[in-house]
Structure formats: structure tokens, C-alpha cells
Chain A
Amino acid sequence: GQQLNQSPQSMFIQEGEDVSMNCTSSSIFNTWLWYKQDPGEGPVLLIALYKAGELTSNGRLTAQFGITRKDSFLNISASIPSDVGIYFCAGLRVGTYKYIFGTGTRLKVLA
């Protein structure tokens, strides 16, 4: 099935560093969602975006809805060890019920 292109696939960073990841699609979406999934747990919704150009923050996390509506970005500032996990995006086209998911970014934070 269709998946969104998400990059990077994985990253190792030092505690305190900032992190950036993005998702791209060939289709236009009207909703972008960002999730974090810890091992053995369900995905937890971090941020939801509904308008092109929208910039939304949730604590140290900031996400943006791309102007073209075909991409989205997630930034994590001043990373801490508990940021470890898999982050993935999801997109939804207007008038549909099927979400399309990104391939995931595995984040590891070195203390």
C-alpha cells in the first residue's frame, strides 16, 4: 500500500541537540499528523496540522504543514533521553477516511 516518504530513517544524536525530520508525498493532504511510538506501546498523537503553512508547537516539539500541502516537518529541540522512539507522520486527504502513514524515523539519543 501507499506510504509516505519519511526521512531520515534513523538518527543518533547527542542529548541537547535539535532534531529535524520530514515527510513528503506526491498527493495533497488536508491533515498532517505526527506520532511517537515507544516499544510495545501504541502510537501517541503529538501534533495535528490542518492548514498549509501552519506551524504548531507542543512543548519542545514543533511541526509545520508544508505550503504545497505535500509535505510536513517535525522538529524536536534540546533532545532528552526519553525522546527515544519511533516518530512517524500520517496524512489524510479531504473527503477520505483512509490515513496514509510514513515509514518512520527511529531516534536514539545518546546521553
Chain B
Amino acid sequence: NAGVTQTPKFQVLKTGQSMTLQCAQDMNHNSMYWYRQDPGMGLRLIYYSASEGTTDKGEVPNGYNVSRLNKREFSLRLESAAPSQTSVYFCASSAQGQANTGELFFGEGSRLTVL
């Protein structure tokens, strides 16, 4: 009954360090997403993958890269972290485009602080 699993749940980085957030879903969904959530800004789309082998930029892609490793996994990489990337990051998945159901399921979030 895992759904969408994200790791790590908490991370503190220094400016300029790199790290990768991992996400895996066990619902056989085609579509996966990375969002960031900041106070007063709501959820903003960073990147998404409509299906295995494809990735597309969202609203705020600068400073991030993604990899759709296989159907289950979608990772988000910060190559050179900046304080402006301090945020809560959510991975989500959907069967959209697969079964024409639009339900979007979120992970529990990864809280990142960049000093």
C-alpha cells in the first residue's frame, strides 16, 4: 500500500552542493511529476514525465534536472544548490493518458534546506 515514496524526507545542503531526490510509485502509472511548495506560492511544477522515456519542463525548471529511470522511478537532481531552492518537494503520479483517469497521488514530501 506504498503509493508514491520519496527519499530523503529531510536534507540540509550547503550552497553549491549537489543532490538527487528519489521517487518511486507502485501504481503502474505512466505520468510522474515533481513540484515544489513554498509558503504563499502554492504548488509549482518543476518537471514532469508523461510516460517512460519522456520528460518536459514545467513552470520552474531552472536549476533542476530529472531522469525517468524506468516506469516506476523519477528522480530530481539539483546540480549546484542555491538558497532559493530551499523548499518542500513533492513527487506525484497519475494514470493520465493511460486510463483517462485524472487522479493525481502525492508522496509525503522532501524538505530541503540550502544554507
Contact = CB atoms under 8 A, between A and B. Distances in A.
Interface residues on A, range: 20 to 34
B106 A43 contact: yes
B104 A99 contact: yes
Contact of A90 (B48, B101, B104, B109): B104
Interface residues on B, range: 20 to 34
B107 A42 contact: yes
Contacts, number: 57
Interface in B82-101: 90, 94, 96-97, 101
A48 B50 contact: no
Nearest to B107: A42
A92 B45 CA distance: 14
A97 B42 CA distance: 18
Interface of B: 4, 31, 33, 42-45, 48, 50, 56, 58-60, 90, 94, 96-97, 101-109
Interface of A: 1, 3, 30-31, 33, 35, 40-45, 48, 50, 88, 90, 92, 97-99, 101-104
